[in-house]
């Protein structure tokens, strides 16, 4: 039987990732210190110019909510070792020792609760700043646990902890049991995630882990055979090619691509964690803000089925599929055309009959969710053919959802 916190996490469905740190000021991604081989003594000077003057937690949370995100995962400390929270004397390499002088994690957590979004905390496990990480690993692991305990005790109830970095020292004992025991003591309902990275997507780790991860790419259906417990799945994804702000990275994915990726995640029951990388002063780049609001317009049309819908074995042609929620089926239809004069419409895909198989039970009626238009259909056993009409002129939702009432 799946634990309630894991089932609740699955129904969140869609979250926002935020990568923000000292690296944001350089605008060359979150790994700039390592990739550009910036000396530690030079890199740490970035703390002297870190103001976060335009980091507006309330605005960011409202932006996430408008996009349809139910939770937000913030990088409280990334590999650079700099903390966005008050470390209470554990380290002087934190936000309280910068011109900013504000506990950004507190502002974030408070804003999440004010607007009904669940806060999650990302925390690195590898630390490029703390010399103990390399030279005195047991001492470093205690520092890591003490840092996590601060996050678990100073910011109210949180949705979960998202760890990243064990792959840096694959041959070392990270003492995960001790780390996760700290969380279970103070935040028993928190989801625990430990990122397996791009080379080990979907791998299962410590028994306390609650969700496997897929970084970039597309998630695959979960095979839970032999797993010690029911696990959720989550895919994290960038809007362009970087997690941290890349000022010269213009290779943004289209809103259509992001919507299709959200759908592909839900098709296999995985959550979609979509990243934003604030600029050095904390402002969300305009392009990222625009993409979030566009996704939010689609989520409004799809409704709760994007959160509550579960894979039910119903698949259609190409990318089409169906989810089940509250006794209804929801058919996700890709690549429809727009109805209109041939001189002003663009060809591609098509309307008309769409075949789905694997339907259990008899369908009574089918309608588009976005405008309530009833659709003709026929059923032969577990095969259903739906006459999917094209978009009205002026509309293109990328993926259109039809709701089926069952007898």
Domains of the chain, by residue range, sit at 4-308, 310-406
- 310-406 and 4-308 share a CATH fold: no
Phi first, then psi: what are they for 200, rounded to 5°?
-140, 50
CB contact at 8 A, 90 and 137: no
Phi first, then psi: what are they for 168, rounded to 5°?
-65, -40
Query: What one-character-per-residue DSSP string does 219-244 give?
Result: ------TT-SS--EEEEEE-SSS-SS
> Token pair of 143, please?
């520092």
Domain 310-406 top-level CATH class: mainly beta
CA-to-CA distance for 85 and 152, rounded, in angstroms? 12
Phi first, then psi: what are they for 392, rounded to 5°?
-60, 145
Start-to-end C-alpha separation, the chain: 29
Q: What is the pLDDT along the chain (407 residues), one digit of tens a residue?
A: 789 999 999 999 999 999 999 999 999 999 999 999 999 999 999 999 999 999 999 999 999 999 999 999 999 999 999 999 999 999 999 999 999 999 999 999 999 999 999 999 999 999 999 999 999 999 999 999 999 999 999 999 999 999 999 999 999 999 999 999 999 999 999 999 998 644 444 456 688 999 988 876 667 777 777 777 899 999 999 999 999 999 999 999 999 999 999 999 999 999 999 999 999 999 999 999 999 999 999 999 999 999 999 999 999 999 999 999 999 999 999 999 887 545 444 444 578 999 999 999 999 999 999 999 999 999 999 999 999 999 999 999 999 999 999 99
Assessment of whether the complete model's pTM goes beyond 0.75: yes
- Which residues share a beta bridge with 122? 75, 162
Is the CATH number of domain 4-308 3.40.720.10? no
> To the nearest 5 percent, what fractions of the chain are helix, strand and coil?
30, 25, 45
CA-to-CA distance for 72 and 51, rounded, in angstroms? 22
């Amino acid at each position: 039987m799946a634990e309630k916190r894991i089932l609740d996490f699955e129904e969140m469905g869609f979250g926002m990732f935020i990568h923000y740190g000292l690296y944001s000021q350089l605008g060359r991604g979150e790994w700039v210190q390592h990739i550009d081989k910036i000396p530690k003594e030079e890199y740490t000077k970035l703390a002297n110019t870190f103001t976060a003057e335009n980091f507006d937690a309330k605005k960011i949370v409202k932006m996430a909510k408008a996009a349809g995100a139910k939770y937000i995962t913030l990088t409280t400390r990334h590999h650079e070792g700099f903390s966005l929270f008050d470390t209470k004397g554990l380290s002087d390499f934190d936000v309280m020792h910068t011109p900013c002088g504000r506990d950004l994690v507190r502002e974030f957590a408070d804003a999440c609760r004010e607007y009904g979004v669940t806060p999650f905390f990302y925390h690195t496990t590898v630390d490029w700043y703390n010399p103990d990480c390399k030279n005195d690993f047991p001492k470093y692991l205690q520092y890591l646990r003490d840092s996590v305990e601060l996050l678990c005790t100073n910011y109210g109830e949180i949705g979960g902890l998202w760890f990243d970095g064990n792959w840096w020292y694959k041959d070392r004992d990270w003492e995960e049991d001790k780390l996760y025991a700290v969380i279970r003591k103070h935040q028993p309902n928190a989801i625990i995630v430990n990122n397996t990275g791009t080379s080990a997507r979907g791998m299962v780790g410590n028994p306390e882990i609650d969700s496997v991860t897929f970084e970039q790419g597309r998630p695959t259906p979960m095979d839970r055979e032999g797993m010690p417990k029911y696990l959720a799945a989550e895919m994290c994804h960038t809007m362009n090619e970087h997690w941290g702000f890349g000022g010269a990275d213009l290779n943004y994915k289209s809103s259509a691509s992001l919507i299709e990726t959200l759908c592909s995640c839900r098709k296999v029951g995985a959550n979609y964690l979509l990243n934003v990388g604030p600029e050095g002063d904390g402002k969300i780049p305009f392009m990222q803000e625009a993409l979030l609001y566009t996704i939010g317009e689609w989520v409004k049309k799809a409704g709760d089925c994007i959160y509550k819908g579960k894979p039910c074995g119903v698949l259609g042609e190409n990318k089409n599929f169906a989810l089940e929620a509250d006794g209804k089926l929801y058919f996700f239809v890709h690549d429809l055309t727009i109805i209109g004069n041939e001189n002003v419409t663009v060809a591609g895909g098509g309307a008309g009959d769409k075949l789905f198989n694997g339907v259990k039970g008899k369908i009574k009626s089918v309608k588009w969710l976005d405008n309530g238009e009833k659709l003709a259909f026929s059923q032969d056993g577990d095969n259903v053919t739906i006459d999917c009409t094209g978009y009205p002129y002026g509309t293109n939702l990328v993926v259109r959802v039809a709701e089926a009432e069952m007898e």
